[in-house]
């Protein structure tokens, strides 16, 4: 007897009423699915994460996921038909994917132009408070810096010219903090920027370095330059003084390299070792979860990112904002097309207009470089079901819970001044985006991934959340949370409560998979 699958056993609708569903496993042409009371054959192979129609779609009609359009039908599409655009077909053919694929696309990318009408704009009420807020054991750094989740000594390469030095210094000091129980480690923060004259990203670099210097997870910081760079210690000090960064609240020193390498290493080592008793004097004490500042980030996304992992971290961030805390979503090009969702609940008209102005600025920036957001999804994204930037953006936007109000829109690395939910301008490259979120003050990073990206940050813990159970099982030692459990039937609320509990434990010192692995990367926005 031929098996007829229920829709729930082989696919997921991101939202009730969508006319396309996402396959949760590879489906072959001719397999039968129960739709509207009848057995419907699938027209072609539907790869895991790809979509097929669950309702009749007329030519010109919009294809919907999360009740938002991502394309328009080029011809009538019947229930059971695999839906695909030309870019995805081209990508699959270039990879010689073994599958029965259609000869041509049946939809073209389509988004709805979005603008705010000031005459009809309605501000949203605040995100609902959740009381009482729980506590975690954190490091109090004073009103200007907040509360840290870690206590690191940071070796900061002010420019790319000193990256190799701070890495060598980190290696030289390996184990030096082991005897000091309140110090989480001595880590290098090396990057590739700051050494080129008249660089477009000079402001980004200075704002990011300044944010690193005063970060709540930093117990002390040594900034190292060569002295000749356009971004050097003198320039950084002047920038921090001009913009009111509370660097005097942080044990810090500046070192300019001159003379012999070994001599400089010995001098730097002496500075750092001299800080150990002072940094160790900081102790964890109970602080409110309202002090948490969460970065919401993704990399190596797939079609399930917007169904399992991103909604999960959005749920947890909603709870933390409800406690009175902070959350920060970024990656401007990967939210283009999701404006109706992102701006459905906004604090005020100025914030909505600022969000759109940042979007428009990025569109112009990309155009000046001869590209556009439409080219963002990689071949890997397309293989995993993200046909276009619209689907990728809508899925990425699910990192904001539908009941969370967007409170602020800020520039890259701009410090978060008040509790609430933030959008921060950044590129789509996750390393560059994370650096900006850390500089803005984030003390814990939620990082969702479909393919298993293993990125970490040197002095902020990263909780990695995987979209599917098979991928989690493959990478269990490198990942922290299996959001694929939602696809397997676990309620989102149960997973959300578990993630909030894990966040409080990590904030109190429990090490993440990335911290146990012992590797990290830093990259500042290069534009």
A 10 A CB-CB count for 363 gives 15
pLDDT band (50, 70, 90) for residue 369: confident
pLDDT per residue over 25-66, tens digit each? 999 999 999 999 999 999 999 999 999 999 999 999 999 999
Contact 215, 156 (CB under 8 A): no
Distance CA 155, CA 140 (A): 21
Domain boundaries, the chain: 4-109, 152-281, 289-517
* Structural tokens at position 382: 């397309």
pLDDT per residue over 224-233, tens digit each? 999 999 999 9
Q: What angle do CA 88, 331, 109 make, to 5 degrees?
A: 30
Assigned CATH for 152-281: 3.40.50
User: Three-state DSSP class for 516?
Assistant: helix
Average pLDDT value over all residues in the chain: 96
A 10 A CB-CB count for 373 gives 23
How remote is the C-alpha of 19 from its chain's centroid?
28
Model pTM?
0.96
* Structural tokens at position 33: 């699915």
State residue 366's pLDDT score: 87
Assigned CATH for 4-109: 2.30.130.110
SS3 sequence of 442-464: CCEEEEEECCCCCCCCCCCCEEE
pLDDT per residue over 258-293, tens digit each? 999 999 999 999 999 999 999 999 999 999 999 999
State residue 83's pLDDT score: 98
């Amino acid at each position: 007897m031929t098996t007829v699958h229920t829709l729930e056993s082989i696919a997921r609708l991101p939202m009730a009423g969508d006319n396309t569903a996402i396959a949760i496993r590879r489906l072959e042409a001719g397999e039968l699915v129960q739709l509207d009371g009848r057995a419907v054959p699938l027209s072609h192979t539907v790869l895991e994460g790809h979509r097929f129609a669950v309702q009749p779609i007329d030519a010109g009609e919009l294809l919907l996921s999360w009740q938002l359009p991502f394309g328009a039908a080029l011809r009538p599409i019947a229930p059971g038909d695999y839906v695909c655009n030309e870019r995805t077909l081209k990508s699959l053919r270039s990879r010689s994917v073994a599958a029965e694929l259609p000869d041509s696309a049946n939809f073209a990318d389509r988004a709805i132009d979005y603008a705010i009408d000031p005459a009809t704009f309605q501000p949203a009420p605040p995100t609902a408070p959740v009381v009482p807020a729980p506590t975690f054991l954190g490091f109090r750094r004073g009103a200007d810096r907040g509360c840290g989740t870690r206590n690191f000594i940071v070796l900061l390469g002010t420019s790319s010219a000193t990256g190799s030095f701070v890495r060598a210094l980190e290696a030289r000091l390996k184990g030096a903090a082991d005897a000091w129980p309140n110090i989480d480690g001595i880590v290098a923060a090396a990057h590739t920027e700051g050494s080129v004259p008249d660089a477009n990203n000079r402001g980004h670099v200075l704002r990011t370095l300044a944010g690193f210097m005063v970060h709540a997870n930093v117990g002390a910081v040594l900034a190292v330059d060569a002295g000749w760079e356009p971004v050097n210690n003198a320039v950084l000090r002047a920038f921090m003084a001009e913009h009111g960064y509370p660097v005097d609240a942080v044990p810090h020193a500046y070192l300019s390299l001159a003379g012999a390498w070994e001599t400089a290493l010995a001098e730097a080592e002496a500075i750092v070792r001299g800080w150990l008793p002072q940094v160790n004097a900081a102790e964890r004490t109970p602080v409110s979860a309202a002090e948490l500042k969460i970065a919401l980030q993704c990399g190596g996304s797939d079609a399930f990112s917007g169904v399992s992992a991103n909604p999960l971290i959005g749920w947890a961030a909603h709870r933390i904002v409800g406690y009175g805390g902070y959350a920060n979503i970024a990656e401007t090009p990967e939210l283009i097309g999701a404006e109706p969702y992102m701006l459905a609940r906004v604090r005020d008209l100025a914030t909505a207009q600022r969000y759109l102005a940042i979007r428009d600025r990025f569109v112009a920036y990309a155009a000046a470089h001869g590209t556009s957001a439409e080219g963002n999804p990689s071949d890997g994204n397309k293989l995993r079901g993200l046909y276009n930037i619209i689907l990728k953006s809508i899925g990425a936007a699910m990192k904001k819970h539908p009941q969370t109000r967007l409170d602020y829109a800020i520039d890259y690395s701009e410090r978060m001044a008040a509790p609430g939910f933030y959008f921060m301008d950044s590129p789509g490259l996750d390393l560059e985006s994370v650096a900006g979120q850390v500089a803005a003050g984030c003390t814990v990073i939620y990082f969702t991934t479909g393919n298993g990206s293993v990125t970490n940050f040197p002095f902020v813990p990263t909780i990695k959340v995987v979209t599917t159970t098979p991928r989690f099982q493959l990478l269990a030692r490198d990942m922290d949370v299996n959001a694929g459990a939602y696809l397997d039937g676990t309620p989102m609320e149960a997973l959300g409560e578990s993630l909030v509990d894990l966040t409080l434990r990590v904030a109190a010192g429990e090490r993440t998979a990335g911290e146990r692995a012992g590797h990290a990367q830093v990259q500042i926005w290069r534009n």
